[in-house]
Amino acid sequence: MHTTRETVLAALHAQLQSLAALALRDEVLPERIPPAGLIILRDGQPGDPEVTLSPLRYHYEHRAELEVVVQAPNGRASAFDTLIAAIGTVLEADRTLGGLCDWVEPEAPASVDLPVEGAVTLKAAVIIVVLHYTTTGPLA
């Protein structure tokens, strides 16, 4: 039996699988970036919940992280923008992850260019995805 947190994160990862980019979870950055780009889902932090009583419920705004990386010899900015837009489209298509979340809300990315010795520069960003969900306990 999985916790609500794990169920929600697994659903987010599954939703990202529909993209052309490779979507991994909690993996190290590979040596080679696929042509369509790479997304690494990091579990992030659930933060402090709001608690309601009767019935007892814990309401989280879990901040998961998507590390997004592209390495395109031509049109790196365009490839990056295409991937970011595709992530937005996938998240907007099901803001509740099949009813597992109250709401999924991505924050705007701040991109950086990362030089790689002897290779094409990487364009990368971390996108915070806020997952609003409710549990019956902090370990549920």
The answer to whether the predicted template modeling score (pTM) of the entire model surpasses 0.75 is: yes
The pLDDT of residue 25 is 98
For the chain, list the domains and their CATH numbers: 4-26+38-64+73-135 (3.30.2000)
Q: Does the pLDDT of residue 125 top 90, yes or no?
A: yes
Write out the two tokens for 38.
Answer: 């790479």
Q: 84-120, pLDDT tens digit by residue?
A: 999 999 999 999 999 999 999 999 998 898 888 877 7
**Which one, of 13, 31, 76, 52, lies nearest residue 5 by Cα?**
13
Q: Does the pLDDT of residue 21 top 90, yes or no?
A: yes
The pLDDT of residue 98 is 96
Report d(CA 59, CA 135) in Å as an integer: 7
Q: Does the pLDDT of residue 7 top 90, yes or no?
A: yes
